[in-house]
Chain A
């Protein structure tokens, strides 16, 4: 090894030459090859990889859409129609981008749910969790601004209602909204800056994802048992075990994606967005995209403008402090009989909020939204802090290997080569 060069273990001369000067191959080998990963992942652990793939799909389709899209109030709607009708495969690229956004939120919701169920937010993974919530916020901002770009009725009125949320801020609110709009209403300057930011933010997300993964590779992954691996017998190298398992998930995910794009591309959208924006007429029933509905329901549950806005943002802000609200030392809900039921009820309640967010804000729907909002916050602010003290968790297993392999663990589950040879019968 020459002085100042990285001590590379690669044999291929070209790879070795690069790796000595910039050890990217060593890094990939360490972080995605031999990386010790708990051996007991279930399929919930696929969703991080799926989110990563989804982000790449969004950027790839988005860059090509941007080549044909015109960010001007007089041309935006028509340029999107041109993408649909005249640009070769434009329909495919746009439908992939549109449905990719829906799927992205579905994947990330499951990913977050996984973290909440298995207590992945607890020490030492608090910062990893917080970075995840930051990604979620950035995704919401990105999707909101992307939805404005086709300049249909829902684009325009969604943009109007959401930017107006900021007018609830006392004193400076209206001024802030003028600065968001670059005018006195949602108009051409607004569309232009939203396009600029919609292009930029996915790359910011990519940066935060990098930090998210970097933090993950310091603490290592959590797992369905919520106990730390104690040695090599509890882990497997990421490759080929989890590259293979992730591939299974990716195939299923792509099948669902293809089904949406080819058979029901507009099912998750709103027909009103195929009507060009009209600043003089609000559609009778404006509804955000489904992934915003729970938060929209919380906004409308409060009869006071500022109060509604505070609770809506609070619904996400509370996730930032979740690691400190949940005072129980036990991570996985598998070993928390009461918290488990509470969390499953919270999940059902989240779905109820999604459903009621799409209903008109009148009559008993308002009451349902109010009860749902109370349950949403009660779980975080009352139930979790209290259960940490009151609940008696089930006994935790001795180790991951012990729990998944049973007595076999002692015989020599061991690290990879040992593990692979020790189970000839399973291959047959």
Chain B
């Protein structure tokens, strides 16, 4: 590489004795020093960046138990999980049917209702609009439920159906289904 550059000038810049056109020992030292500096800065930065992530105590609070027995058909409850609301809805037969007869092609974020529930009457979703994080309306009987009978987010107008799937509005994806397990016939543990 260096052969192509001006030979006379280069000689004056190289350390005594080093051949002007070759890659010098100094180039090598510069490169390795820079590489070490970059790794060092990265290693120093990591603890600071990592300290921004959820701490151990926050992660430890990560599961919530819900007793389903008191929730009558057609009712819904909101519980807190990891600081977020989770909607647990005891769906009516009509709501289940409405969720199951939709064509997948009609959905913005296609998912079958069967894949989103473990037991047909119980729909469990994180109650956070996937647009910008507001809590959609529809938990109380008096709430507006939107055009698809599920939930309606008043912030920027997203409509969710009875399976918590996005049907209209700016939200890009369905309401998230958290990991949960049935700990008995009438209780679940979220997280």
Q: Which residues of A contact B (CB under 8 A)?
A: 157, 160-161, 163-165, 167, 178-187, 189, 193, 279-282, 284-286, 300, 302-306, 308, 361-362
Taking a contact as CB atoms closer than 8 A, the residue among A182, A186, A280 that contacts B58 in the complex is A182
| Known contacts A160-B133, A161-B133, A280-B135; is-contact A184 B155 (Cβ 8 Å) | no
Scan B42-73; emit 1 where CB is below 8 A from any A CB, else 0: 00000001001111001000000000000000
User: Quick check: which of B8-16, B22-30, B77-85, B97-105 contacts chain A, the rest being far away?
Assistant: B77-85
Taking a contact as CB atoms closer than 8 A, the residue among B55, B80, B134, B172 that contacts A305 in the complex is B172
Top-9 shortest CB links A-B: A184-B82, A185-B83, A164-B133, A164-B132, A282-B134, A161-B132, A160-B133, A282-B135, A179-B52
Min C-beta distance of B105 to chain A, whole Å: 20
Min C-beta distance of B61 to chain A, whole Å: 9
In the complex, are the beta carbons of A282 and B155 less than 8 A apart? yes
Taking a contact as CB atoms closer than 8 A, the residue among B52, B80, B132, B171 that contacts A160 in the complex is B132
Min C-beta distance of B161 to chain A, whole Å: 19
Q: Which residue of B lies closest to A361 (CB)?
A: B156
- CA–CA, A189 to B55, complex, Å? 9
Q: Which residue of A lies closest to B49 (CB)?
A: A179
- CA–CA, A282 to B128, complex, Å? 10
Instruction: Add 9 more A-B contacts to A163-B133, A179-B52, A184-B84 (CB < 8 A).
Output: A161-B134, A182-B58, A184-B83, A185-B82, A189-B54, A279-B85, A305-B132, A305-B170, A361-B156
Contacts of A161 in B (CB 8 A): 132-134, 155
Contacts of B82 in A (CB 8 A): 183-185
Band of interface residues on B: 20 to 34
Contacts of B58 in A (CB 8 A): 182-184, 187, 189
Contacts of B132 in A (CB 8 A): 160-161, 164-165, 167, 305
Show 30 residue pairs from A and B whose CB-CB distance is below 8 angstroms, ordered by the A residue: A160-B132, A160-B133, A161-B133, A178-B53, A178-B54, A179-B52, A180-B52, A182-B52, A182-B58, A183-B54, A184-B54, A185-B82, A185-B83, A185-B128, A187-B58, A189-B55, A279-B80, A279-B135, A280-B85, A280-B135, A282-B155, A300-B170, A302-B170, A303-B170, A304-B170, A304-B172, A305-B132, A305-B170, A305-B172, A306-B172
Min C-beta distance of A124 to chain B, whole Å: 33
Q: Which residue of B lies closest to A278 (CB)?
A: B135
The total of Cβ contacts below 8 Å across the A-B interface reads: 81
Contacts of A282 in B (CB 8 A): 134-135, 154-155
Taking a contact as CB atoms closer than 8 A, the residue among B83, B133, B154 that contacts A284 in the complex is B154
Contacts of B85 in A (CB 8 A): 279-280
- CA–CA, A193 to B52, complex, Å? 9
- CA–CA, A184 to B179, complex, Å? 14
Interface status of B19 (Cβ within 8 A of chain A) = no
Contacts of B135 in A (CB 8 A): 279-282
Of listed B52, B53, B58, B83, residue having the most chain A CB within 10 A = B83
Min C-beta distance of B151 to chain A, whole Å: 12
Contacts of B154 in A (CB 8 A): 282, 284-285
Scan B127-163; emit 1 where CB is below 8 A from any A CB, else 0: 0100111110000000000000000001111000000
In the complex, are the beta carbons of A157 and B134 less than 8 A apart? yes
Taking a contact as CB atoms closer than 8 A, the residue among A167, A185, A305 that contacts B84 in the complex is A185
In the complex, are the beta carbons of B134 and A187 less than 8 A apart? no
Taking a contact as CB atoms closer than 8 A, the residue among A160, A179, A279, A362 that contacts B53 in the complex is A179
In the complex, are the beta carbons of A305 and B171 less than 8 A apart? yes
Taking a contact as CB atoms closer than 8 A, the residue among A182, A284, A302, A303 that contacts B54 in the complex is A182
Of listed B49, B52, B131, B155, residue having the most chain A CB within 10 A = B155
In the complex, are the beta carbons of A286 and B84 less than 8 A apart? no
Contacts of A189 in B (CB 8 A): 54-55, 58
Q: Which residue of A lies closest to B58 (CB)?
A: A183
Contacts of B155 in A (CB 8 A): 161, 282, 286
Of listed A165, A189, A303, A308, residue having the most chain B CB within 10 A = A189
Q: Which residue of B lies closest to A302 (CB)?
A: B170
Contacts of B78 in A (CB 8 A): 280
In the complex, are the beta carbons of B131 and A279 less than 8 A apart? no
Min C-beta distance of B170 to chain A, whole Å: 6
Contacts of A160 in B (CB 8 A): 132-134
Q: Which residue of B lies closest to A165 (CB)?
A: B132
Contacts of B83 in A (CB 8 A): 183-187, 279
Of listed A180, A184, A189, A279, residue having the most chain B CB within 10 A = A184
Contacts of B131 in A (CB 8 A): 164, 305
Min C-beta distance of A347 to chain B, whole Å: 27
- CA–CA, A163 to B131, complex, Å? 11
| Known contacts A182-B52, A183-B54; is-contact A361 B157 (Cβ 8 Å) | yes
Contacts of A185 in B (CB 8 A): 82-84, 128
- CA–CA, A279 to B157, complex, Å? 19
Min C-beta distance of B175 to chain A, whole Å: 14
Contacts of B172 in A (CB 8 A): 304-306
Contacts of B157 in A (CB 8 A): 361-362
Q: Which residue of B lies closest to A190 (CB)?
A: B83
Q: Which residue of B lies closest to A179 (CB)?
A: B52
Contacts of B156 in A (CB 8 A): 300, 361
- CA–CA, A240 to B55, complex, Å? 57
Contacts of A279 in B (CB 8 A): 80, 83-85, 135
- CA–CA, A58 to B69, complex, Å? 55
Min C-beta distance of A414 to chain B, whole Å: 52
Min C-beta distance of A156 to chain B, whole Å: 10
| Known contacts A161-B133, A182-B53, A189-B54; is-contact A308 B84 (Cβ 8 Å) | no
